[in-house]
Amino acid sequence: MKVKFKPEELVEICRLHELYLKGDTNGVRADLRYANLENADLENADLRCADLSHADLRRANLRCADLTHADLENADLRYADLRYADLRYANLENADLTHADLENADLRRANLENADLSHADLRRANLRCADLRRANLENADLRRANLRCADLENADLRYANLENADLENADLRCADLDC
C-alpha cells in the first residue's frame, strides 16, 4: 500500500533529511519507501542517500534533484522529469523509467539493472560505468549520451537512437541491437 504525503509533510521530511545529511543529531534520513509521490514537485531537492524504493514517482518533477546514492529500487518513475538530476551511484534496479526525461542527467555508476528505460529521453546523459544489464532501452533516445565503460550485457537496444553516443569500452555482449 502506497503512503500519500501532504505537501507540508514532504517539506518537513526534506528538511529533516537535510539536517541528517549535515550530521545534525535532529536530522532523520528520508524514508519514502512505498510513498505515493505522483506529480510531486521535488525540483532541486537534496535527496542524497534517501530511501525511495518502491515509491510512486510518476510524473514527479525531480529536475536538478540530487539523488546521489539514493535507493530507487522498484520505483515507478514513468514520465518523471529528471533533467539535470544527479543520480550518481543511485540504485535504480528494476525501476520503471518508461518515457522519463533524463536529458543531461548524471547516472555515472548508477545501478539500472533490469530497469525499463523504454522511450526514455537520455540525450546527453552521463551513463559512464553504469550497470545497464538486462535494461530495456527500446526506443530510448541516447543521442550524445556517454556510455563509456557501461555494462549493457543483454540490454534491449532495439530502435534506440545511439547517434553520436560514446560507447567506448562499453560491454554490449548479447545486447539486442536489431532495428
CA distance 120 to 95: 12
Residue 28: which H helix or E strand, with range? none
pTM for the full predicted model: 0.96
Beta bridge partners of 36: 4, 56
Q: Please identify, in words, the CATH class of the domain defined by 32-179.
A: mainly beta
Give the cell for residue 174. 548479447
Q: What is the pLDDT of residues 20-47, one digit of tens each?
A: 999 999 999 999 999 999 999 999 999 9
Please indicate whether residue 173 or residue 3 has the higher confidence score (pLDDT). 173
Which pLDDT score is estimated for 3? Answer: 86
Tally of CB atoms within 10 A around 169: 11
All structural domains of the chain with their residue ranges: 3-31, 32-179
Phi, psi dihedral angles at 18 (to 5 degrees): -60, -40
Q: How far is CA 22 from CA 8, 19, 28, 62, in A?
A: 21, 5, 10, 21
SS3 130: coil
* pLDDT over 90 at 102, yes or no: yes
CA distance 12 to 154: 42
